[in-house]
Structure 1
Amino acid sequence: MSVENRAKKPWLPPRWFIRLAWSVHRGLYRVFRGRVGLWRPRAGGWGTLRLTATGRRTGQQRSVIIGYVEDGPNLVSLAMNGWGEGEPAWWLNLQTHPDATVDLVDGQRLVRGHAATGDERLRLWARWREIDTNLDAYAALRSSETAVVVLEPRPGASDTLQGS
C-alpha cells in the first residue's frame, strides 16, 4: 500500500492544552462581559455561542462556549468533547434538561436541544464536513458516534430576548 493510500490519523493537541484553551476562552468572555469570545458563523465557517443548561445532577445552571452553524432558525453543534472519549457534560445536561438559553453576539435565545437523527443528521453532518474536511477522521478517534445537536427555538418563546 502506498503512502498516499494510507489513512492519516489526524493530529490533536494534548487534552490538557484543549482544556486550557477553552478555559482561557471562557475567562476572556467573563472578563470582557460578553463583548469578546462570541462570533457569528463566517462564510463557510462556524461561530461560537454560550450555552447555559441545567445540570443533570446539581440542578444548577452550567455554561459552556461551543461552536455552531446556523440551519434556518436552528443552531447546530457537535457533541465532540474535544474529540476525546465520552460525551461532553453540556450534552449530557441537555439530554436530561433539553430547555436551555444561548447567548449570541446579537442577544439571547431560549432553545430546546435534541440529537439529529436519520436524514437530518446526515444533512447536518455533511454541512459540518464542508467546514472541516477532516471531520470524519476526527470522529473516528472516538469509539461512539458523535451527536449532532440541534438547538431549536423553544415553542412560544420570542426569537431574541430583550435586555441581554
Structure 2
Amino acid sequence: MSGDGEARAAARGRHTRLPPRWVIVAFWHGHRALLRASGGRLGLWRPRPGRWGTLRLTTTGRRSGQPRQVVLGYFEDGSNLVTMAMNGWGPAEPAWWLNLQAHPDAVVQTRDGARQVRGRRASGEERERLWSRWAEIDVNLDDYAARRPTETAVVVLEPLDAEPGG
C-alpha cells in the first residue's frame, strides 16, 4: 500500500474516472426508491471484509426540523459505524452532514435493525486510522478526495445506548 504522500501525488496526475454527476445522483435516487418500495428489505447490506455496507441515516433538517433520510456506505469500528461526508465526491458538503452537525443525534437503519446514534467528525490520529481503513476498501480514495476543495470529513456514528465506562 502506498503512503499518503504518494497517493496524493498520484491524485494530482491522472484522475480515476468517475461517472458523470447525473449518473451518481440517479443511482442515489434509485437506491432510495428501492429501499422505500421494498420496505427496507432490499438496499441495505452488512459490511464484509474488504467491502463496505450500506445504512439508512435519518437526521433532523437543520432549517426545517423535519426528518431527512439518506443511504450511505459504512464500515464498523467496534460498536461505531464510520462513513464519509463526500457528496459523491462533489465539491459541496452533503446536506446530511450539515444536518448532523446542527443536530448530532440521529437514527441509523442497518440490516440488523435501527439504533439511535450521535454523529461526530473524527480528527487527529483517529481520522488517519479510519481514513486508512477506508483506503483499504477503496483504493481510489485519495484520488477521489483530491477532487474536493475541502477535506472530506470522516464521520463516526456512536451508539447512544453505549454509555462510557459501562
What displacement does 1:154 show?
Answer: 1.1
What is aligned with 1:112? Answer: 118
Structure 1: 4+ residue segments shifted above 6 A: none
Structure 2 unaligned regions, length at least 5: 1-9
What is aligned with 2:135? Answer: 129
Matched residues, percent identical?
Answer: 64
TM-score normalised per structure 1: 0.90
Taking the aligned partners of 2:22 and 2:62, their CA distance within structure 1 comes to 25
Alignment partner of 2:49: what SS?
coil
Matched letter for residue 43 of structure 2: G
User: For each residue in 1:46-69, what CA deviation from the matched residue of structure 2 results, as whole angstroms up to 9, or x when unmatched?
Assistant: 000000010000000000000000
User: For each residue in 1:26-62, what CA deviation from the matched residue of structure 2 results, as whole angstroms up to 9, or x when unmatched?
Assistant: 0000110000000000111100000001000000000
Q: 1:102 aligns with which of 108, 112, 117?
A: 108
TM-score normalised per structure 2: 0.89
Matched letter for residue 103 of structure 2: H
Structure 1 unaligned regions, length at least 5: 158-164
Taking the aligned partners of 1:43 and 1:120, their CA distance within structure 2 comes to 20
Taking the aligned partners of 1:127 and 1:156, their CA distance within structure 2 comes to 23
Alignment partner of 2:71: what SS?
strand
Matched letter for residue 28 of structure 2: W
What is aligned with 2:54? Answer: 48
- Kindly report the root-mean-square deviation, in angstroms, between the aligned alpha carbons of the 2 structures: 1.4
Contact 2:116 2:161 in 1 (8 A): no
Alignment partner of 1:58: what SS?
coil
